[in-house]
Structure 1
């Protein structure tokens, strides 16, 4: 199955990659990048994991809203999604790998129903699809 994009955007990194700058096509993102202190950097800029967690959390919340509405159980307006991205050594090849923790907060909804809605969003979200089988995910639900 081929995806026909309805939207495309580019971003350009310059400098040292993790120690440089990233600018988006629109100019809305124009950030200095610095490795986090935990990886030996200054931590004085953003980093790829922070940007990935921001995009993933927004995309997942959109997927949660879309799939829950389609299921006839729209989530409350104050629902949130927090995505934590971790980076560490990959013992398989000595390089680095990522892990993702997705926490959904769906207040006022029965816990079993909230889990069902979060699972449906995880199956639907393009970020989840793109990383499935490549990154370990943990999905938790709070109500």
Structure 2
């Protein structure tokens, strides 16, 4: 992604589906590692043809997601890195609001401290109010449907 390497955390769809969508538009995903939080719950879901997919057994294993992301970032040779979390809303289905808000605080600050670009995707209408209000505090920029809300 723009000469960067990074980690894409897929909480909404399986990583294979995301990789295939990127490849269909000509995007090279060889420098992106995927952490799939969805496919482990599906019979045969971890039998995939892509070596850049890692699995976490459940979306409730938030600490495992963070630790796996940090480990992968240490192994990437890119000069600049990113982390993309594709759905706060999907994580909100499996985690209590307070726990998810605390996790996102740790997640965002961990990567900010390491100067890693972090993108957290959330649909405001579907995000629990406690989580959404905390995202306002943690995030440097907040974009709502193309409009910059916080900068």
TM-score range (shorter-chain normalised) is under 0.3
Query: If each structure's strand is expressed as a fraction of its own residues, which one has the higher value?
Result: 1
Larger RCO (CA under 8 A, 6+ residues apart):
2
Give TM-score, length-normalised by structure 2.
Answer: 0.27
